[in-house]
Structure 1
Amino acid sequence: MSSEETDIEESSNSSSDVSSLDNDFTGMQFESSSSEEQVMDDDVYSQVWGEIESESDAEFSEDLGMIQEVPENLKDSKISPIDCYRYFIIDEIINLIIRETNRYAEQHLETHALTKRSKTLQCKPTTHEEMLKLLRIIIEMGLVQMPKVDYYWSKSKLFESEVIQNTMSRDRFELLLKFYHFSNNQEQHADQDRLFKLKPLLDLLKARFKSAYIPGAIIYIDETMIPWKGRLLFKQ
């Protein structure tokens, strides 16, 4: 027998052995898969299905809707947006913003070295009347949107906004926004609550919401109110 014939015969025998091993392995897989499926089927059929128990045994009160203490004008069909605004944005909330904004401005002046030309040195404590003006401007900017904030104080007839320009100067507006605050940074830490900078405001708003309306038994909260594509651990 020649060397070529010997190589061909050995190659044939090797291929036959490999094919045999493949068949054995495939058979083992089918047997294993079949036995696993049988065990899973047995587990499923052996389970006894029962009734789903409610997590809460409290009975729902059908006394829902607007609370009686709410002013009558808020229950009227002719309610205006300003009525809702004045009911929820109360003086306690405005005073909170004033107090923490002034506090943060003082802390910034004490901890930062500023040049003589810095506009921050011109910062003075804000007042209740001025804070109402600031909120008015913010709402107005939401209704009439422009590419840049500076445009609201532009002298151009294309962008000029007399309402905002007559309410507050641009420099003062920017200073107030820079120090706009709802909490004392020196008293709270981010590791305690990720919303610690907003918590005082949220607590007041939630209490106000509860004082106005009692929701129904089933509430669906499943839609994002504000589009957000970034990474955030909490979002609605």
Structure 2
Amino acid sequence: MNSQEERRLLHLFETVETESEKSSISEDIDSDADPEYIVESDVSCGEESESNNEELDDRQQPVPVNVSICDNWQVPDWLRLKNITYNPDSEEVGINPDLIETMSSARPYDFFCLFLDDEVVTLLRSSRINSWVPTNPQEMRNFLGIILWMGLVNMPSLAHYWRNTHLYNSKLTNLMSRNRFEFLLSMFHISDNTKITPGDRLHKIQSLIGLLLNRFNRYVIPEEFMCIDESMVPFLETGEDVLAISTKHLDSMVNVTQRGGDKIKLQAIVEYNKGKSFIDVPDQMNSYNSFTRRSLKWYRKVTFDLLLNVAVVNALSLYSKVTNSKMKITEFRESIVEDMLT
């Protein structure tokens, strides 16, 4: 091969290489494919095609596998229930019909005595840490009546309630002396300390709680819509997304009439808004005219709260529904005190 032919072959090779580079650059610009990705040929030889088909035929389809769970894990009861039935015994909800027939004209004190009956007063009198202290049910009622009255009349200290000066003009000395009241208050007890189970602090008031709950349930069977304790759902401002889950309501929507116009809301949200309005009513009533003092031990505070706040609010609820009369909580307390201290 002479030099002229070598130059012609070299020129031809450079021309082919240049065209190949241009084609590669054009593909890089027009395509978003990975430049390092190697595209396999769509055409395969017969042997490779048959081998691939055999691999596809031998490949098994995925099969569901039952995974065993921990032995001590149990499905909650509420997951097993598709329809939760309220009041399964079909009891008549609402107020005991006997109260409506017999107490339609009763006084507030009569409704309060439904809860503070002789059995409860006897428990307060006989469960003292010093049984040698002489007392009787009437004295215990006077004692509780004085405490209830102290919540209505605010004075600087406990001693001021027995001052007979023209500034205070107290009449408590006719019912009970100050020393006697302070002695009963210091000895006030619900349980027997010798029978307390170690670590069970609720034992100090458990017997009273049982008696009161029995009486609360005796005269009223709650209706379907009620609020228990306080709501634990955080408050969300208007416009925020709300996630709702309910074991009772379906995902149905209802029309709600508001001041700005009708709106479509989730049924569960409507029932929740209806129920949460009941949350703060008892707490607000209990905060009025409360006798709780810092010097009292915790179980005495709880005892007085159960007897003179919770029981009074429940009695007011019965009074309003049975007699169809409205009375403010302060007036209701005043009426009870007048009957207890006369």
What TM-score comes out, normalization by structure 1 length? 0.58
* Number of the residue aligned with 1:130: 139
Give me the CA root mean square deviation.
3.0
The amino acid that maps onto 1:89 is L
- The structure 2 residue matched to 1:100, chosen from 119, 122, 127, is 127
Matched position secondary structure for 1:218:
coil
Report the equivalent of 2:96: 67
1:87 is matched with which residue? Answer: 114
- Residues 53 and 142 of structure 1, relative CA distance in 2, 3 Å threshold: same
1:184 aligns with 2:192: yes
- In structure 2, what is the Cα distance between the partners aligned to 1:62 and 1:187? 37
Aligned counterparts of 2:91 and 2:148: Cα–Cα separation in 1: 36
**1:54: Cα distance to partner?**
5.0
Q: Residue 144 in 1 paired to residue 153 in 2?
A: yes
* Distance verdict in 2 for CA 1:56–1:130, change over 3 Å: farther
Q: Which residue of 1 aligns with 2:205?
A: 198
Report the equivalent of 1:43.
none
Quote how far apart the aligned CAs of 1:136 are.
1.5
**Deviation by residue 1:147-180 (Cα, 9 ceiling, x = unmatched):** 2110011122112211x22100000000000111
Structure 1 equivalent of residue 174 of structure 2:
166
Match of 2:332 in 1: none
The count of aligned residue pairs is 158
Runs (5+) with no aligned partner, structure 2: 1-78, 231-278, 288-297, 299-342
Distance in 2 of aligned mates of 1:129 and 1:62: 37
Q: Secondary structure in 2 aligned to 1:211?
A: helix
Deviation at 1:55, TM superposition (A): 7.3
What letter matches 1:142 in structure 2? G
Contact 2:160 2:168 in 1 (8 A): yes
Identity of aligned residues (%): 32
Q: Distance in 2 between matches of 1:94 and 1:59?
A: 35
Cα distance change on mapping 1:187 and 1:63 into 2, 3 Å: same
* CA distance 1:166–1:211, shift in 2 (3 Å): same
TM-score by length of 2: 0.41
In 1, Cα distance between the equivalents of 2:82 and 2:158?
Answer: 51
Q: Are residues 1:212 and 2:212 paired? A: no
Runs of 5+ unmatched residues, structure 1: 1-51, 107-122
Structure 2 residue identity aligned to 1:217: E
Structure 1 residues 217 and 166: alpha-carbon distance in aligned structure 2, compared to 1, 3 A threshold? same
> Quick check: which has more Rg, 1 or 2?
2
Contact 2:86-2:224 within 8 A present in 1 as well: no
* Distance apart, 1:68 and its partner CA: 2.5
Distance 2:189 2:83 in 1: 39
Distance in 2 (CA, whole Å) between partners of 1:56 and 1:202 is 32
